[in-house]
Structure 1
Amino acid sequence: MEAQPYPQLIVRPARDYLATLPPVELPGSAAMPAYSLAQAYRVCRDITRHHSKSFFLATRLLPRAKRMAMEALYAFCRTSDDLVDIHPDPANALARWIAWQQQSAPPADQPVLIAWADSVTRYRLPPTLVDELLAGIAMDLTTQRYESFAELWVYCYRVASVVGLLSMRIIGSAPGAEAYAIRLGVALQLTNILRDIGEDARRGRIYLPLEDLRRFALSQAEVLAGVRDHRFRALMRFEIARAEALYRASWPGIALLHRDGQLAVAAAALLYRGILRKIIANDYNVWTRRAHLSTAEKLAMLPSIIRRVYRLRRGDVRLDDIA
């Protein structure tokens, strides 16, 4: 694993997680409806538009070929994640999906895998990174608690930072960009975790490090029950500050990306960062109010994001708060 900031932590290899999935027998392909490559990419675009309006908006700022590959990456991640979160037999569903993904040619009735395979080949995406991503998704099958932020970092690296490392290879980057991409991935995933505390609690999951719960005298049972008192608000302020620090630390890396991808990545980062402000505005109610930015709010932020990118290109790496 790259840029693991906790050398004392023993990290289980990605291949070990994938090896625990059940064996599968893949069906034949006789009567399957076939998707053309163009149709497959359109399906990925539709998945991106439906599930992540912020990411969809950000990818509009990319050249067409890179935009299509980024939509394929998002659709691959989203479909993989949904197999674990909502499929009635998640282990077997994920195992089958991974087996299909590892075939030399994807099944003709799997448009996401058709587009993904094309993007992997076109941009020479490393199989080791894909394995790390899938291992992170597989961790949700067996891990519902993280004792420390060091342990959570590994999960965030796999399910989010690896997406950044794959994105870099699609967009193009200068040497030194990887460490920034890893920090940005952890910031994005931590934002996701904070937004979805209530939803995850209803599934019996707590992603917040247990050491942090103890720091603010909160029990697991209280988090699962939706307690929102001064202790919980203090915990949320602590985690938001941690995420903010990671956004700031990752910001200079935007300048190391290919010029035609800088604005898209900056927009994706800052639009998602805006969720933190919404959580605060909602008084940390992550149980009954889902923090999100409206389309109008996102569009209103774009001029500010463009100015920030121009300043960054001139060497101003400061990342001030967005009003």
Structure 2
Amino acid sequence: MALTRGRTTDAPPLGCDAADLAAVEAVVAASGTSFGKGMRILPPDRRYGMYAVYAFCRVVDDIADEMGELDGKAARLAEWRARVAGLYAGRTADALDRVLAVVIARFGLRQADFEAVIDGMLMDAAGPVVAPDEATFDLYCDRVASAVGRLSVRVFGDSSEAADRVAFHLGRALQITNILRDVAEDAALGRLYLPRELLERFDVPANPARVLRARGLEGVGRVLAGRARDHFRAAYRAMARCDRVAMRPARLMGATYAALLTAQEKQGWRTPERRVSLSRPRKLLIAARALVG
């Protein structure tokens, strides 16, 4: 049976039903993200484990982002919280449940980390996040990024305390980079994830409709970029204490996002509507260096 291009085997990854694996992989493919390609560096069991984690994150994120009232979205996220609890009690209902149940058991994933991701989605579902205070900003980064990291490092193959430190710092570094890169896109949706204290420090209005033309936005961007750099450095230090092979995907993500941050710092925040990106040759070079470094 063929589950992915170029791979045919009589033993499906994780011992799961091939149709269930295909359904999970279809969620990843439908997202249009390059995530699936990046995870091809992993052995099949771990690759499909990451597909399942990503599919879970994609589904709950879509609930938070969809149109509708908070009560409806909160109810659907509450259903997912119950579904996660059910997985730990041995209950499954569909293909994603069945694959996730195997992944949880195989890699020792923690229920609290799934619940933290759902809590992060609830923060978005409650309405556009606008200029959160520093504590809320950090909590949001932990829930929507570092919690995903804590799930991921276990699938990668390292459940040590050092791996959790990688998740803590790399998750924050990646999320801050995304926030700095997407200021204009978020503002168009009525969102403003930049911390209120920094906005006040640089005299930037806590208003998505006015933030893009504020002179002080450059200062806010520079400070947050420096904070992201600190998290990248701390993540790399923690990686040095982890299983080297297990950290290959983390190194790849870290190197790619660090390059995006560099591009954003070079461009600055005077024209935030110009979203920075990396060329394909640049991505390939970054990947090669990260995977052999």
User: TM-score, length-normalised on structure 1?
Assistant: 0.74
Aligned partner of 2:60 among 71, 80, 96: 80
Check conservation: 2:156, 2:249, Cα contact below 8 A: no
**Equivalent position amino acid for 2:48 in 1:** M
Match of 1:138 in 2: 122
Q: Higher mean Cα deviation, 176-185 or 282-291?
A: 282-291
**Equivalent position amino acid for 2:242 in 1:** L
**Aligned equivalents of 2:264 and 2:30: distance in 1?**
22
Match of 1:44 in 2: 24
- The Cα of 1:287 is off from its aligned counterpart by 4.9
**Aligned equivalents of 1:299 and 1:146: distance in 2?**
36
Check conservation: 1:216, 1:231, Cα contact below 8 A: yes
**Equivalent position amino acid for 1:72 in 2:** A
What SS does the corresponding residue of 1:178 show, helix, strand or coil?
A: helix
Matches for 1:78-227 after TM superposition, within 5 Å = 78-88=58-68, 89-103=72-86, 104-108=90-94, 111-142=95-126, 144-173=129-158, 174-221=160-207, 223-227=208-212
**Aligned equivalents of 1:280 and 1:51: distance in 2?**
28
- The Cα of 1:87 is off from its aligned counterpart by 4.4
**Aligned equivalents of 2:32 and 2:213: distance in 1?**
27
**Aligned equivalents of 2:187 and 2:57: distance in 1?**
22
Check conservation: 1:62, 1:260, Cα contact below 8 A: no
- The Cα of 1:194 is off from its aligned counterpart by 1.6
**Aligned equivalents of 1:211 and 1:237: distance in 2?**
14
User: TM-score, length-normalised on structure 2?
Assistant: 0.81
**Aligned equivalents of 2:176 and 2:288: distance in 1?**
26
Residues 93-135 of structure 1 deviation map (CA, whole Å, 9 limit, x = unaligned): 3233333343343323xx3333223211222212122212211
Q: Could you say if the C-alpha distance between residues 67 and 257 of structure 1 is closer, same or farther in structure 2, counting changes exceeding 3 Å?
A: farther
**Aligned equivalents of 2:82 and 2:17: distance in 1?**
20
Once the two structures are aligned, what percentage of the paired residues are identical?
30
Aligned partner of 2:215 among 219, 230, 255: 230
Check conservation: 1:84, 1:141, Cα contact below 8 A: yes
**Equivalent position amino acid for 2:172 in 1:** V
Q: Could you say if the C-alpha distance between residues 218 and 226 of structure 1 is closer, same or farther in structure 2, counting changes exceeding 3 Å?
A: closer
Q: Could you say if the C-alpha distance between residues 302 and 182 of structure 1 is closer, same or farther in structure 2, counting changes exceeding 3 Å?
A: same
- The Cα of 1:73 is off from its aligned counterpart by 0.8
Q: Could you say if the C-alpha distance between residues 159 and 52 of structure 1 is closer, same or farther in structure 2, counting changes exceeding 3 Å?
A: farther
Long gaps (5+) in structure 1: 1-35, 310-323
Q: Could you say if the C-alpha distance between residues 116 and 259 of structure 1 is closer, same or farther in structure 2, counting changes exceeding 3 Å?
A: same
Matches for 1:28-39 after TM superposition, within 5 Å = 37-39=17-19
**Aligned equivalents of 2:54 and 2:264: distance in 1?**
24
**Aligned equivalents of 1:292 and 1:49: distance in 2?**
21
Q: Give the root-mean-square deviation of aligned CA atoms.
A: 2.5
- The Cα of 1:152 is off from its aligned counterpart by 1.1
Match of 2:230 in 1: 245
**Equivalent position amino acid for 2:104 in 1:** V
- The Cα of 1:281 is off from its aligned counterpart by 4.6
- The Cα of 1:242 is off from its aligned counterpart by 1.1
Matches for 1:312-323 after TM superposition, within 5 Å = none
- The Cα of 1:175 is off from its aligned counterpart by 4.1
**Aligned equivalents of 2:105 and 2:190: distance in 1?**
38
Q: Could you say if the C-alpha distance between residues 227 and 297 of structure 1 is closer, same or farther in structure 2, counting changes exceeding 3 Å?
A: same
Aligned length: 270
Residues 161-216 of structure 1 deviation map (CA, whole Å, 9 limit, x = unaligned): 11111122222324433223201111111112222222222232221100000111
Check conservation: 2:84, 2:114, Cα contact below 8 A: no
Match of 1:266 in 2: 251
**Equivalent position amino acid for 2:92 in 1:** P
Match of 1:58 in 2: 38
**Aligned equivalents of 2:165 and 2:185: distance in 1?**
30
- The Cα of 1:86 is off from its aligned counterpart by 1.9
